[in-house]
Amino acid sequence: MRVALVTEYYYPHLGGVTEHVANLSRQFQQAGHTTLIVTGTFATAAGPHSGGVKVRRLGTLDSAVWLHVRATAVFAISFALLLAWLFVRRSRHLRWALAVFGLLVVQMVIGEIQYRTYGTVSWYVVLVHVALAASLFAWTVGLVARLWRPLAHPGRT
């Protein structure tokens, strides 16, 4: 008999549901049945599921990467325009914006390395990429706060 197990979570996600589905699959296989696990796309740079069970993922990583790359490009182009505007206005926020842009470039380079070495990328590269993404978000929020409500200068009312 062929058995399909449909689940929201499966390896590399850890948890009770994952363990239960894996155990069910093993028991069916030991009884001589063929199993197929159907689950959602797990988009990480660590690569696809490495277990021996046949796992069919719904959706593809390519569509998520396509959207992510374009969203990052739109952000980078918009940010370059903001840099030009700050430069023309000789804004005191230009240094802060250049720091954010530097973080963006480094994060984009690491993301490109992840993409080109998909499935073989080391865990620490993923960790650095995620840490840079969080830093980039925080610095961007800080920049927007500075541009929206510039800090008052001492001595000015």
Q: 67 and 49 in one domain?
A: no
Largest CA-CA distance found in the chain, in angstroms, rounded: 82
Q: Answer for the pair 43, 61: CB distance below 8 angstroms, yes or no.
A: yes
Residue % of the chain over a pLDDT of 90? 3
Q: Answer for the pair 5, 34: CB distance below 8 angstroms, yes or no.
A: no
Q: 51 and 84 in one domain?
A: no
Per this entry, what is the length of the chain?
157
- Could you say which of 41, 59, 77 is where a domain stops? 59
Cα–Cα distance for residue pair 71/69, rounded to 1 Å: 6
Q: How many domains does the chain have?
A: 2
For the stretch 48-93, pLDDT in tens is: 544 555 665 555 555 666 777 788 788 888 888 988 998 998 888 8
Q: 105 and 31 in one domain?
A: no
For residue 139, give the 3-state DSSP assignment.
helix
Q: 25 and 7 in one domain?
A: yes
43: containing domain: 2-59
Q: 76 and 50 in one domain?
A: no
Torsion of CA 90, 84, 101, 78, to 10 degrees: 140
- Could you say which of 19, 41, 59 is where a domain stops? 59
Q: Answer for the pair 82, 97: CB distance below 8 angstroms, yes or no.
A: yes
Q: 89 and 32 in one domain?
A: no
Q: Which of 9-18, 54-63, 99-108 has the lowest mean pLDDT?
A: 54-63
Q: How many CA atoms lie within 13 A of 121 on its CB side?
A: 22
Closest Cα partner for 99 from 146, 54, 60, 55? 146
Quick one: pLDDT at residue 88? 92
Q: 124 and 74 in one domain?
A: yes
Q: pTM of whole model > 0.85? A: no
- Could you say which of 21, 43, 59 is where a domain stops? 59
What's the rounded mean pLDDT across residues 5-24? 76
Cα–Cα distance for residue pair 45/95, rounded to 1 Å: 32
Quick one: pLDDT at residue 72? 79
